[in-house]
Amino acid sequence: MFYPPKPDLISSRTPRIMRFFKNLRSSISVFTEQSYQMKMGEVRGLKERTYFLAQPDLVRKLLTSSIKTHPKSNLIEKTFSVLLGQGLFMSSGDTWIRRRKMVEGAFGTANISKVFPHMLAAAEDLCSQITEGKVQIDRLTNQVSVDIIFRTLFSKAIEPDETNHFFEVVDSFLKSAHGHASWCVIGLPERLSPFRRKTERTSLDLREVLARRVDERLSVRGAEQSPEDDLLDALINSRDDDGVGFTRDELVDEVAVLFLAGHETSAGVMAWAFYLIANSPDIQGRLHQEIDTVVGKGVLEQGHFRKLPLVRNVFRETLRLFPPVAFVPRKTTVTETWRDKVIKPGSTIFVAVWLLQRNPQIWEDPDGFDPDRFSTPQGKQSSREGYVPFSMGPRVCIGASFAIQEAAIVMSVLLQKFHFSPTDHLPRPVSKLTVRSENGIELNVTRRAPYS
């Protein structure tokens, strides 16, 4: 069994100021050995206390509770409001209820079968650009992920000259936004944050690019030309209970949410998946056999997915080991007692997804890569108790099936044609809003015999 790297543990006697600076680098780099068996932790900030939850029944209680009792944390607004406006990821109360119904309606209209050709085309294009030798697989998954988002949203591939700019801006945003969030968590004045201006500047840069695409579509529709059959068109056509659609700014909000949630999270998980596969020759051999049996030398079809259980389980296990979002914040609006702690209104409670999904009291051999665990009775029970990569409850990720299909397509298309093996490069997992490798992920790639 392969054991991928994870952050080094720290001593329980590490001073708080050192933990703060470690957290600026990565929010999963501040754990002791005991943290991985933690049920509920507490951090005292300058103004209030922050709680971290990893007890399965309490995690379920928090995530499935009313959005009015436990809405999104103010921390999210402080970090993402410039980029995402009042989009689904940001909103609460009646605004959230309206937007959730409308976005769900749009996803129902632009269903998985409609976006499948866009995803497949992006994966095939990526294959044509891969050359044998050492590759930075995280850059490739970034490239295909943003291409898929652009194709499914706008029916157009991202322009080559836009790609590098996007990667630079997104990377800059994630680093500064993580720093700003860490600054706010401990209660330091938001206005004094050294990360605030850069976060706002990169947010505006990203939003402007996406807004330009929305405006182009609205002008085309205004000229009564044929609309595209994609996610953006589904959002434009979506209506609330009163028959009212999204305004232009609301459309930009939702497009920005879909871009951020659909690109960065998927890209990171797919990169880790290929890293795990490359370091597990037996698993990769079984994947090749499964894909060869189902797809052969032909073209992947949507109907093939139900016949590719190992592909799905590899992705599920990657999500367990490297959840795209390591911590999910909620705010409490009432005084309540969780375990032995009295939590006051306004406090932030984080679901510690990273810790929950690696807890040895829940998972057998939790740090090992074992996609077959989901087929065993014990693994299925562990999954029911401690597996929440897409959250759960009323705010469960609306794009979960989108992400699963995207990963299955990219993994299947690339594994059909290529073999992956490790180099001497050792990635360093960090969490700066999303879980990624601080120093990239390098792999060796060779063409499989029928495609050489």
Provide the mean pLDDT of the chain: 89
Angle at CA of residue 113, ends 110 and 116, nearest 5°: 100
What whole-number distance in Å separates Cα of residue 357 and Cα of residue 388? 8
What is the value of pTM for the model shown? 0.93
Average pLDDT over every residue of 175-183: 82
What whole-number distance in Å separates Cα of residue 221 and Cα of residue 398? 27
Say if residue 44's pLDDT is above 80: no
What whole-number distance in Å separates Cα of residue 104 and Cα of residue 99? 8
In the chain, where are the structural domains located? 16-451
CATH homologous superfamily of 16-451: Cytochrome P450 (1.10.630.10)
Average pLDDT over every residue of 264-282: 94
Say if residue 223's pLDDT is above 60: no
DSSP 425: -
Q: Which amino acid is at 156?
A: K
Angle at CA of residue 97, ends 93 and 102, nearest 5°: 150
Say if residue 374's pLDDT is above 90: yes
Average pLDDT over every residue of 144-156: 90
pLDDT of residue 9: 84
Q: Exposed (0-12), middle (13-18) or buried (19+): which is 365, by Cβ within 10 Å?
A: exposed
DSSP 33: G
User: For residue range 277-323, what is the model confidence (pLDDT) as tens digits?
Assistant: 999 999 999 999 999 999 998 999 988 989 999 999 999 999 999 99
pLDDT of residue 430: 93
Q: Token pair of 51, please?
A: 């709680």
What whole-number distance in Å separates Cα of residue 115 and Cα of residue 112? 5
Q: What percent of the chain has pLDDT over 70?
A: 97
Residue with tokens 């490798």: 437
Q: Is 440 helix (H, G, I), strand (E, B) or coil?
A: coil
